[in-house]
């Protein structure tokens, strides 16, 4: 049976799962992850990370088990690799879409996010939750690796307001090692942007994998060619999962170098993640006059000087949903 939830388009035989380890054929029918979650939290949008989408507001975040990639450096492997790695186990809890939306409303969240694991492997479930959320005036956002099929895009684009996609590297060999294809991810990013959705991108800068000047420059130039106002988050890696014996952490100077290369490519908004102190680029700066618009301390907003989405100094309109 052919599964079309992501770009793998797995042909799944009876009793087996697709590459994600979660979508299984039983008695000739495709069983999908639906009606359950393993993670639920009230997060600031900054944690997704989304810096230009309702900054300072909280979003109800939910996730399930499984992923269609096999990243050896996965920072969330305890849930993402369930169904593929026999040493990884996870538990789910039954829940309805209405219960999730009711929780968001009860806790005065300003939105619902599909995150933590890979939402594309449960695109039907995410679509139903987002549809109900939209009916209740709740913004919706997707945090994904972007390895989407056209079928999942057709479902999700009409009901998704914002997305943060992991642009993990910029070579086909790199994506082959992770279990995907670069062009599919680039096409997904473009599809969301062209559809008028708010898009931000994240790259986990992994030593000896994607941290060369050339690769960081290539990513920055791709983003600039699509839209220089797309925020790019470059985040520090820490050794995890199957890469515990390699470099333990991204040196701060590599993140700073990524920021420099992004600025040279013409990007207007570049942020560092998982790093503090003088090396952190957390604040939103007006690209026209240099005024500090939003000051951040980690995931918290220390000051927001935007006035109806505009710079108070030069009146420039700042891209985002404010």
| 211's tokens | 């941290």
Please tell me whether residues 162 and 131 are part of one structural domain: yes
Please tell me whether residues 46 and 188 are part of one structural domain: yes
Please tell me whether residues 235 and 320 are part of one structural domain: no
In a domain, 9, yes or no: no
CATH at 253: 3.20.20.70
Instruction: Round to whole Å and give the CA distance between 271 and 282.
Output: 6
Which strand (E) or helix (H) includes residue 229?
Answer: none
pLDDT score, position 172: 97
In a domain, 292, yes or no: yes
Interval 183-238: pLDDT, tens: 999 999 999 999 999 999 999 999 999 999 999 999 999 999 999 999 999 999 99
Please tell me whether residues 178 and 302 are part of one structural domain: no
pLDDT score, position 278: 58
pLDDT score, position 280: 79
Please tell me whether residues 141 and 46 are part of one structural domain: yes
Strand, coil or helix: 34: coil
Mean predicted confidence (pLDDT) in 298-318: 96
Please tell me whether residues 84 and 227 are part of one structural domain: yes
Q: How many domains does the chain have?
A: 2
pLDDT score, position 90: 87
Q: pTM to 2 decimals? A: 0.97
Please tell me whether residues 164 and 304 are part of one structural domain: no
Please tell me whether residues 60 and 200 are part of one structural domain: yes
Q: Omega before 49 cis (within 30°)?
A: yes
DSSP 69-118: ---TT-TTHHHHTTTT-TT-----EE--HHHHHHHHHHTT-S-EEE-SS-
pLDDT score, position 276: 76
Taking alpha carbons only, the member of 149, 139, 142, 188 closest to residue 163 is 142
* Range with the poorest average pLDDT among 106-120, 147-161, 275-289: 275-289
Please tell me whether residues 308 and 277 are part of one structural domain: no
Please tell me whether residues 228 and 292 are part of one structural domain: no
Please tell me whether residues 245 and 302 are part of one structural domain: no
pLDDT score, position 279: 67
pLDDT score, position 89: 86
On average, the pLDDT of the chain sits at 96
Interval 90-135: pLDDT, tens: 899 999 999 999 999 999 999 999 999 999 999 999 999 999 999 9
Pairing of strands 58-63, 140-144: unpaired
Strand, coil or helix: 224: helix
Instruction: Round to whole Å and give the CA distance between 1 and 28.
Output: 8
pLDDT score, position 217: 98
257 and 207 in contact (C-beta within 8 Å)? no
Please tell me whether residues 278 and 292 are part of one structural domain: no
pLDDT at 15 over 90: yes
Interval 261-274: pLDDT, tens: 999 999 999 999 99
In a domain, 25, yes or no: no
In a domain, 128, yes or no: yes
Residue carrying the six token digits 């102190």: 277
Interval 168-182: pLDDT, tens: 999 999 999 999 999
In a domain, 5, yes or no: no
User: Which residue segment(s) compose the domain that 160 sits in?
Assistant: 34-282
Mean predicted confidence (pLDDT) in 311-318: 98
The set of residues, in sequence order, having a beta carbon less than 8 Å from that of 296 and lying 6+ positions away, is 46, 51, 282, 283, 284, 302
């Amino acid at each position: 049976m052919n599964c079309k939830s992501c770009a793998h388009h797995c042909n799944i035989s009876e009793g087996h799962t697709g590459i994600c380890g979660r979508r299984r054929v039983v008695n000739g029918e495709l069983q999908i992850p639906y009606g359950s979650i393993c993670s639920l939290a009230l997060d600031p949008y900054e944690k997704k990370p989304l810096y230009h989408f309702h900054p300072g507001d909280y979003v109800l975040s939910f996730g399930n088990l499984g992923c269609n990639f096999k990243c050896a450096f996965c920072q969330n492997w305890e849930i993402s690799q369930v169904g593929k790695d026999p040493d990884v186990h996870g538990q789910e809890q039954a829940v309805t879409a209405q219960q999730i939306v009711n929780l968001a409303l009860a806790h005065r969240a300003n939105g619902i996010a599909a995150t933590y694991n890979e939402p594309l492997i449960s695109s039907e479930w995410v679509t139903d939750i987002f549809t109900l959320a939209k009916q209740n005036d709740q913004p919706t956002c997707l945090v994904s690796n972007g390895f989407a099929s056209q079928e999942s895009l057709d479902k999700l684009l009409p009901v998704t307001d914002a997305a943060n996609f992991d642009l993990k590297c910029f070579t086909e060999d790199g994506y082959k090692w992770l279990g995907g294809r670069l062009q599919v991810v680039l096409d997904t990013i473009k599809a969301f942007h062209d559809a008028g959705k708010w898009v931000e991108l994240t790259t986990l800068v992994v030593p000896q994998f994607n941290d060369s000047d050339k690769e960081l420059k290539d990513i920055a130039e791709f983003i600039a060619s699509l839209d220089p106002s797309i925020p790019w988050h470059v985040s520090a890696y820490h050794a995890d999962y199957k890469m515990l014996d390699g470099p333990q952490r991204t040196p701060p100077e590599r993140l700073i170098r990524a920021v420099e290369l992004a600025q040279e490519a013409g990007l207007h908004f570049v942020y560092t993640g998982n790093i503090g102190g003088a090396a952190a680029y957390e604040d939103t700066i007006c690209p026209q006059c240099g005024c500090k618009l939003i000051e951040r301390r980690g995931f918290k907003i220390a000051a927001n000087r935007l006035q109806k989405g505009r710079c108070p100094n030069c009146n420039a309109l700042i891209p985002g949903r404010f």
